[in-house]
Chain A
Amino acid sequence: MSHHEHAEHGQQAHASGKTYLIVLIVLAVLTAIEVAIPYAVEPLKESMAETYPRALFLSLMFALAIAKFFIVVAFFMHLKYDHRFYSESFGFAMFISIITFVALAYYLSSDEPPNQRMARLKKEGKLPVAAAPVEEEVGPADPEAGKAVFNANGCMACHTISSLPGAVGTTGPKLDGLGKVAANRVAGMDAEAYIKQSIEDPYAYVVDGYMKVMPSMRANMSAQEFVNLVAYLKSL
């Protein structure tokens, strides 16, 4: 190809500094309008109820976002003034991603607006609830048997107990001295209550620095095993 001196092949005039400032102001205004829409339509949700045109307002916001997108691409990224080929290749890729996205959205969409789905499920009583506990006869607690329950349920995968070989997990807190620690962890909860909660409802209180990943283990054991396990843990 012949040498290029001051302009690329196909490059036309440049925008002026003033143009860029105007573009910025336009972008700012479009952003302001976009942000204002949810606030502005809030009272309409009640007053219009069933006829509330959510799709219309959504389309308006998407149109504003798309307009901003194209303005930045055309002016700030200079596509308006550059060689056509840039626009063509970028445009083609955009086209591919958009039709892929539209196909995916269409295939997996439902008619129901997302934020209404939870309300409906709640009303229909379809949200998952914990199963009612079955009443069981429970004898005196046996910490030794509790140790077996600990082993049987894979607890050592995440917890360390120095006195228990194989219990070397570090995902959850170390359990040495748990009997003392548990009594003071949460105000108003004694050691036994805290240990029980940790097994039944682990997300209720998570020790600082640890992830919320412990599954509820209560359902995996009988009432007797549960009592034994709690006694074992309290004895540490």
Chain B
Amino acid sequence: MSAAATVHEHSNTGMPNRKLAMWLFLASDCMFFGSLIGTYLVYQGKSLVGPYPTDVFDIPLTSFSSFVLLLSSYAMVIQLDGINNGDLKKFRIWNAITCICGLIFLGCQYYEFNHFVHAGLTLSTNLFGSTFYVLTGTHGTHVAIGVLWLISLFVLSFFGRVTKETALDVEIAGLYWHFVDIVWIVIFTVVYLVEYV
């Protein structure tokens, strides 16, 4: 695997500005999700009416979607490697795989939310409903934005806008995408799995 290609950018830090900016944004997003997760944890177990988490959670389904998201992170890395080597075909194939995995994850989320609402859990039902939907809904929105971003890269690649020289664009999209994955790693453990231990 060759070294990452970079644009001949001048910056005070010696690092591409946009990449550093993305990392700083991700750091702030960490705080954002930290507050949502913290809120969820503070209110955990304090709902006075059901449905309660164990009434509605489907661990096999959520485990499957968690694994799909992990797979998408792997596909993201291979996609980046493709464009770093100027291999447009590899980039496109693994970009498509990443997007499909993201869409499968979103599909699972949609199915899950639907099932929960039918079981009587809405935003206003109880503390669990409020905190759960805000947290996972925000995460799902992040995933959706990521999918749109990746699709746009896919399309742009047909207009010569995604090349070895502009691989930084893909790298930065990748950072965002991996971040979305690691947030889910935390959510899956702290929201879903702890209810059963």
Contact = CB atoms under 8 A, between A and B. Distances in A.
Interface in A1-46: 1, 3-4, 6-11, 14-17, 20-21, 23-24, 27-28, 31, 34-35, 37-39, 41-42
A24 B101 CA distance: 15
Contact of A11 (B3, B45, B63): B3
Contacts of B125: 212
B78 A17 contact: yes
B30 interface: yes
Contact of A1 (B14, B35, B41, B70): B14
A25 to B, nearest CB: 10
Contact of B185 (A9, A69, A128): A69
Contact of B13 (A15, A85, A105, A128): A85
Interface of B: 1-6, 8-16, 19-20, 23-24, 26-28, 30-31, 34-35, 37-38, 41-42, 44-46, 48, 52, 54, 59, 63, 66-67, 70-71, 73-74, 76-78, 81, 120, 122, 124-125, 171, 174-175, 178-179, 181-182, 185-186, 188-190, 193-197
Interface of A: 1, 3-4, 6-11, 14-17, 20-21, 23-24, 27-28, 31, 34-35, 37-39, 41-42, 54, 57-58, 61-62, 64-65, 68-69, 72-73, 76-78, 83, 85-86, 89-90, 92-94, 96-98, 100-101, 104-105, 108-109, 113-115, 117-118, 127-128, 211-213
Given A7-B4, A211-B122, A86 B15 contact: yes
A36 to B, nearest CB: 10
A6 to B, nearest CB: 5
Contacts, number: 173
B30 A93 contact: yes
A104 B38 contact: yes
25 contacts: A4-B9, A8-B4, A15-B1, A17-B78, A31-B63, A38-B193, A38-B196, A69-B182, A72-B181, A73-B178, A73-B182, A76-B76, A76-B77, A77-B174, A77-B178, A77-B179, A85-B20, A93-B30, A97-B30, A97-B35, A101-B35, A105-B42, A113-B45, A212-B122, A212-B124
Contact of A86 (B23, B41, B66, B71): B23
A35 B35 CA distance: 25
A9 B9 CA distance: 12
B23 A89 contact: yes
Contact of A54 (B48, B70, B197): B197
B73 A76 contact: yes
Given A83-B14, A89-B23, 4 more contacts: A6-B2, A9-B14, A24-B71, A109-B42
A4 B8 contact: yes
A216 B30 CA distance: 40
B193 A17 contact: no
B12 to A, nearest CB: 7
**Which residue of B12, B20, B74 has the most chain A CB atoms within 10 A of its CB atom?**
B74
Contact of B15 (A14, A20, A83, A115): A83
Contacts of B59: 35, 38
B197 A211 contact: no
Contacts of B122: 211-212
A29 B148 CA distance: 30
Contacts of B196: 38-39, 42
A70 to B, nearest CB: 9
